[in-house]
Amino acid sequence: MRWSWLGSPRRPSCPCTRRSAAPPPARCATGPRTAASARSRTRSSTRPCPRSAPGTCPASSDCCRGEGRAPPPRADRRRVPSPSGGAGRGAPLLFAVPDHGHNEPVPRIPIAVAALAAAVVVGAVPAQAAPAGDVGTRIINGSEAPSGAWPSATFLSFTFNGASYFACSGSLIAPRVVLTAAHCVVKNGELANAARSTARPGVISNADNSTRQVWSAAVPHPAYDEDSRTNDVALVTLPVAATAPAATIPLIAPWQDGAVGGGASAAIAGWGRTVNGGAISETLRQATVPLVSDADCAHIWGGNFAAESMVCADTSAGIDTCQGDSGGPLALTIADTRTLVGDTSWGAATCASGTPGVYGRISAFRGWILDGGTPANLLVRDYVAAQNAEAQNLALTSTGPDVTVTWGVTPANWTTTGFRVTVNGSAETVTGPEAAHTVTLPDGGPVSALVEPQVTLGTATAASITATPTPTRAPVVSATLPAQPEAGAELTATAASDDPWGGAIAYQWLLDGADIPGATAAAYRPTAAQAGRLLSLRIAAANAAGTGSATVRAGRVLQAPRVRAGRVPVRGRAVVGGRLTAAAPSATGYPRPRVTYRFARNGRVVQTGRAGVYRVRERDRGALITGTATWTNSAGTVVRKLTAVRIAR
């Protein structure tokens, strides 16, 4: 945390300093310096410590006796300009910055800063003036928030004893209620002094008094634990409803809870310093951080992290909330709406050190926020009860047989637990975190959908739509062919499209890559003249999103061997020692036919092979030599007989 005070203009007599040449007065109190005390603010003392040697501080027992408060942690003390402006005019405002040499959990509580308005004077800070308070660190490595970016962001200034002012951030969740961290309104069991504390909802500059109001009351969570920081949430009520530019931010609804998980991109905002120990900012800062899973956060923080009431964000990229951002928003964009999922709570003393920052988990506090029974809770409850959760902006899209129904919902009623979605008579309850539901309707045609929000408070209005779904992409088409094409044989393609709302499938046969005129049906009969040429099929289907097409290679057109009719003549000397040659004619076909011969003696096969020559042997005397010629390719076979020859005796 950041210790701070508005001090006396006297030169300090107890220079507990590390960097300042002219240190401010030390604020001391009795009591041990424990981790617990380091995580909580203490009120400032108005008495300086006794004098001591330069560069040293007396023991706490030697100063400020009887105060009953723990001493502040080690600090670098810096001088900032006085409210009156120029150097040397007016008394300086003094603030302390803790030593960041350790990494124990500390709350994101602000540091004391220079006056935000000239009305602030040292030693007498009127309740109606812009406070000199504890603005704390602004977002580390963030950017200045543009006007209107965070209409719910609220700058809170508060005091416990009237002598020191502190500041936190908060979020307007109802016109008269600001959600912040409990450690911003409770210190050592004492509530902040509401009558001397102010809120500025919807401002960018914390010096902007246009929306300033004095608090009516501050209500911490009844189970808030100052030591463990569990249930670190509180409600601050305002006397009148905030008006523009302020606007409320919806809390995360039950149906959206699944969106809060490791890797989700969250937005953070707050007022304070940009670097550890650096200058404070008068303007709201913002940044984006990824969430860390509960398991990973527990692995790092151990028992300090309670997943039931805390959520973590990654700081390894050097982006983090820091002291002074306490109570500020951690928000996700869900269903196109910025939604409050956490409030800045605590983290490592050195901000953006790579150790996850820890936030209160808003979903764990919904029940108390609505049903806590205090006037603050009732204000929130009445506000939400007046809200209508209205389903809106229904749309139907198709990626094929799957039809997706999407919708929006007015965000102010954040008690929505889910949606009852009825598509073509079939109902199902959707709990998110997406405002979408997908069903499979393979038959295509018009779709009727009804979306009914389910709420626990307030009212709900259903919405319906009947339409032919709008495809989000072109169809995907495919085709298969039963066999390689063959001349004279009909080839029929089987084609399909995955979009039931697409148009009819168009066919175009191609020969060697060129369209075959008139060949636009699913079936095609190649001709003999096309033998050996490459046959392909192109198919296409279109819908409102575009045209899907595919080309299927059928292969080269086959043709069975073709040989002129008649016997194959055999020539030669039909005597022992002579040769007989089969004069096989050439054959056509694709692939090129291969011819083989078979010779038989008196009906018994004696020779086969590609050779068409038969040598007459002694045993062939007087025998009848017959045979066949066979032409073969992948498309078929043709057989012709050889002319018979009688061998002389």
Q: In 10 A of CB 474, how many CB atoms?
A: 19
Residue with token string 């989700």: 264
Cα separations in angstroms, 547 against 79, 403, 471, 504, 505: 70, 19, 11, 11, 10
Q: Which residues pair with 418 in a beta bridge?
A: 454
Q: Residue 645 and residue 647: Cα distance in Å, rounded?
A: 6
Q: Residue 538 and residue 477: Cα distance in Å, rounded?
A: 10
Q: Which of 326, 353, 497, 536 is catalytic?
A: 326
Closest among 276, 284, 288 to 315, alpha carbons compared: 288
If phi > 0 it is left, if psi is from -120 to 50 it is alpha, else beta; for residue 518 that is left
Q: In 10 A of CB 367, how many CB atoms?
A: 9
Q: Residue 402 and residue 442: Cα distance in Å, rounded?
A: 7
**Secondary structure E strands in 399-435:** 402-409, 416-423, 426-430
Spell out the SS3 assignment of 325-348. CCCCEEEEEECCEEEEEEEEEEEE
Contact criterion met (CB below 8 Å) for 99 and 315: no
Q: Helix, strand, coil % (nearest 5) of the chain?
A: 10, 40, 50
b/e code 84-122 from CB counts within 10 Å (16+ = b): eeeeeebbbbbbbbbebeeeebbbbbbbbbbbbeeebbb
Contact criterion met (CB below 8 Å) for 360 and 345: yes
What is residue 528's three-state secondary structure?
A: helix
For residues 297, 135, 179 and 70, what is the CA-based torsion angle, rounded to 10 degrees?
70
Q: Residue 122 and residue 105: Cα distance in Å, rounded?
A: 32
* Structural tokens at position 66: 């009887």
* Count of residues making up the chain: 649
Q: Residue 139 and residue 146: Cα distance in Å, rounded?
A: 14
Contacts of 565 (CB under 8 A, 6+ apart): none
Q: Residue 233 and residue 427: Cα distance in Å, rounded?
A: 38
Q: Which of 134, 208, 232, 325 is catalytic?
A: 232
Is 183 known to be catalytic?
yes
Contact criterion met (CB below 8 Å) for 580 and 574: yes
Is 294 known to be catalytic?
no
Is 265 known to be catalytic?
no
Q: Residue 420 and residue 428: Cα distance in Å, rounded?
A: 6
Closest among 649, 644, 2, 646 to 323, alpha carbons compared: 2
* Structural tokens at position 649: 């005796």
Q: Which of 4, 183, 257, 325 is catalytic?
A: 183
Query: Could you report how far apart the first and last alpha carbons of the chain are, in Å?
Result: 127
Q: Which residues pair with 357 in a beta bridge?
A: 313
* Structural tokens at position 413: 């009623």
Contacts of 221 (CB under 8 A, 6+ apart): 182, 231, 232, 233, 234, 365, 368
Residues annotated as catalytic are: 183, 232, 326
